[in-house]
Every structure is written in C-alpha cells, then in structure tokens.
Homo-oligomer: A and B are copies of this chain.
Amino acid sequence: MTARPRAFVVVTGSELVRGDRTDLNGPFLARQALELGLEPARVSVVGDSPEELEAALLEGLQADLCVVSGGLGPTHDDRTVELLARAAGVALRVDPELEEEIGGISRGFAERMRRPYADFQPGVTKQATLPEGAMSLGLAGTAPGFVLATARGAAVVLPGPPAELRRLWPRALETEAVQRVLERARPPEVRVLRLYGVSESAVARALADAGGDGDGVEATICARDFEIHVDLLIDQGGQARTRADELEAALAEWLAPYLFARDEQPVEELVLEACRSRGWTLATAESSTGGMVAARLTSVPGSSESFVGGVVAYSNELKERQLGVPAKLLAEHGAVSAEVAAAMARGARSRLGADVAVSVTGIAGPGGGTPRKPVGLVYLHAETPEAGRARDFSIPGDRDTVRRRATVMALHLLRDVLTQSRHEDA
C-alpha cells in the first residue's frame, strides 16, 4: 500500500495553533484523501507566522497532493497565497475577473455597513491575487479557492471556514491537475462493521483469531461514541476482496450479538426508522442525561414524524408529577433504581401518549454518590407495546462521560428492543 500518492494537509489559522478552536478541516480532508486512494501523510496546523507557514508549505509541496486551508482573507495576516507562490517558485498576478467578482460582493457589503468602498479596495485586490498559472475554483464567501499544478502533482488552496471549504472541495477534484494525481491513486473499497456492547480489545482479539488483516486488506478498530467501528480498506483486485469477504464473515459470525450496522447511519436514525416502520410514536423520560437523549433524537430531520416529546424530570417532584412515578417507589428504592427507571418509561408512554419510551436515571456526579450507589451508576429502561428491556451500568467516570455513555446506551437499548424483540434479553 506504500505506493499510494501522498497527501499532505496544511491548516493555517492562529486561533487553531493556539488551541482556541478545534480544527475540523484536517480530519475532513484526511478522510477524503484516504477514500480517494491517497495516503494521508500528515496534517500540519500552523499559525500566521510567515516563517512557520512557509516551512510547512515547502514540506507540503513535496507531497503528490498538498491541500491548504485558511489564510485567504483580505488582511496582511492572511499570507497563504504569497507564501505558497514563493514556495512553489512562481510569481503572483491579479486575476481581473476575480477582482470584479469580489469587488461586487464587497461593494454590497460596504453599502450595508455604510462605509466607503475605498476601505475595501486593497483587500479586494489582495484576494483577487493568485499564483501565476493557478486555476480559480470560484468564490465561497469573498475568498477564492484555487488549484496550482506542482512539480509533484497539485496544490489545492481552500478557504478556512469549514462550510466554504467543503463547498469548493468537489470543484478542486475536477481540475486537471488533481485528476492527474488521482489517476495514480487506488481508491480502496471501504466496508464498516459497527458493534455495540463489546470492548475494543475483544474485537482486536476476534480480528487476530480471524487471521488478522493483510493480503490487500487493512483493518482498523476504532472506538467512536461508545461504539466500536471496524473499518476494512480493501485494495482493488480479486484476491483482496476474497480475503475481505472471509474476514468480514468471520467477524460477523463471532461478533453477531454486537453487530448492528454495516454503514455510518447514526443510531438515532436507526431508532426513528424502526419506529416509523411499525407506525409507533416515541417519547423520552430523562433524569441524569437531562435532555441529551431527546436532543440526539431530534437532531434527525423529520424526527417529528415519530418523536412526540419528552420529560426531563430532574427533581423527584417532577418524576411524580409529570411521569406518575409513585412516591412510594421513590422512597423505597430511591430515584436511581431499576424500579424507578421502569416506572419512568411506563409513565412517559401513558402521560405523553407514546407507543415507545426510554428512560434514564443515574448519578452523573461528581457529587451525590454513596457506597451502595456510587457516581457512575445508571439505570435505563425501554418499553414498546410488545416488549420491555432494562439495562444498567456502573463506570468510574467524569460527569460528561457518564452522561454521554448513558445517552448512547439509551439509544441502543431502544434500537435493540425495537429490532430484536424476538430475542431473549442478553
């Protein structure tokens, strides 16, 4: 796999190299490179110091594909174009068409801001300046993206705001310079197995027992959002595919109780689809997760088709009042108990008029723990017209981890009870 063309990403922005903001462009571009059949070699994040940026660009230009994000704004701190041209050994020139286009946008902006256009003129000319021979990709915002053919392949330069970068990226792929690099690439077939309820090390062992990767198949095991993802990158050609089929079949068989998807569709979408296909409505009853389960479900467009709503019953009083949890149950078992979780789910079904409900009650910490009920103890319950299922877990973890884990478990519990209610509870 070493003969794949190398891709090198340079991300510039002083707020990124200072840790004020998390870079989203590097991971996006690296993943794109991988799926296009390139080898993502490095993502370098640099500030606006000219020396550091030039050094990173010089290195980037050694790769077959160098993708640069940011530093295209109108001010003197935005030096990507100038430094890239210098690193590539070409001159700069103003693109008259681009200047007119950016000028038009800036005139409108100046009017709205009631400032003279002359204030913007130097910035417009700067933003319309490209390295000699560069191919403009057009504008996103007022910053143009462009592609420059290099000695090794191509450099793609894109604006820093992630939405703008993603808009121009497909255009970059269509340029002749990038196409020449992609001709040498070998896009792998990508398969994914998604597992829940099993540890990363158990999956690693199953993979090793199945003969491991190799023979044109590269397997990576990655924990993501409390799920385990096995990615198989499969080389073109018959032998690799045969090996991948064997490996996938072995993993699917051994890990069958945990395998729930072979694509990237989020679990909240699987839950909503399962509800829709049965014509069932859905509600939530949350204590320690404080609305996070409902927030995940409603992140899906069209979720209102099945999801009617939820109650965040943080106080015991609201558990009684809004969900009809008996005061006696709360007194006898405590708010964090399997009994109260079950009553919350039942209460959500009846009080909110939903067919399906899930509940979460737990101790997220850092306070509130006792020796019998420590921080990190969480009870969940899901109920449909046909089946009910309970879960609990106890992990030492910080408040955020306990809550996020409980949220994901609530969604998987719903998925499980909705799609596999014919099976016995594990």
Contact = CB atoms under 8 A, between A and B. Distances in A.
Nearest to A233: B18
A15 B222 contact: yes
Given A290-B298, A309-B313, A315-B308, A19 B28 contact: yes
A195 to B, nearest CB: 15
The binding surface of chain A is classed by DSSP as: mixed
B298 A309 contact: no
A288 B298 CA distance: 8
A291 interface: yes
Contacts of A228: none
Nearest to A308: B315
Given A290-B303, A301-B399, 7 more contacts: A18-B40, A42-B56, A44-B45, A284-B312, A290-B294, A308-B317, A310-B312
A302 interface: yes
B307 A314 contact: yes
B314 A312 contact: no
Interface stretch (A46-54, A177-185, A413-421): A46-54
A367 interface: yes
A41 B17 contact: yes
Pick from A16, A318, A366 the residue with the most CB of B within 10 Å.
Answer: A318
Contacts of A367: 301-302
A352 interface: yes
Contacts of A23: 23, 26-27
Interface stretch (A29-37, A125-133, A143-151): A29-37
Contacts of A366: 301
B44 A44 contact: yes
B315 A312 contact: no
A270 to B, nearest CB: 18
B19 A31 contact: yes
A312 B312 CA distance: 8
A365 B300 CA distance: 10
Given A40-B19, A43-B17, A224-B21, A291 B310 contact: yes
A259 interface: no
A297 interface: yes
Contacts of A22: 22, 24, 27
Given A40-B17, A45-B26, A49-B41, A298 B322 contact: no
- Each complex incorporates copies of this chain amounting to 2
Interface in A315-333: 315, 317-318, 321-322
A231 interface: yes
A281 to B, nearest CB: 8
A353 B317 contact: yes
A140 interface: no
A194 to B, nearest CB: 13
Nearest to A231: B20
8 contacts: A18-B220, A19-B26, A42-B52, A284-B291, A290-B291, A290-B294, A290-B299, A311-B312
Contacts of A321: 352-353
Contacts of A308: 314-315, 317-318
Contacts of A297: 290
A399 B297 CA distance: 13
Contacts of A24: 22
A328 B284 CA distance: 27
A175 interface: no
A121 interface: no
A299 B400 contact: yes
A41 B46 contact: yes
Nearest to A43: B45
Contact of A309 (B295, B315, B365): B315
Contacts of A56: 42
A14 interface: yes
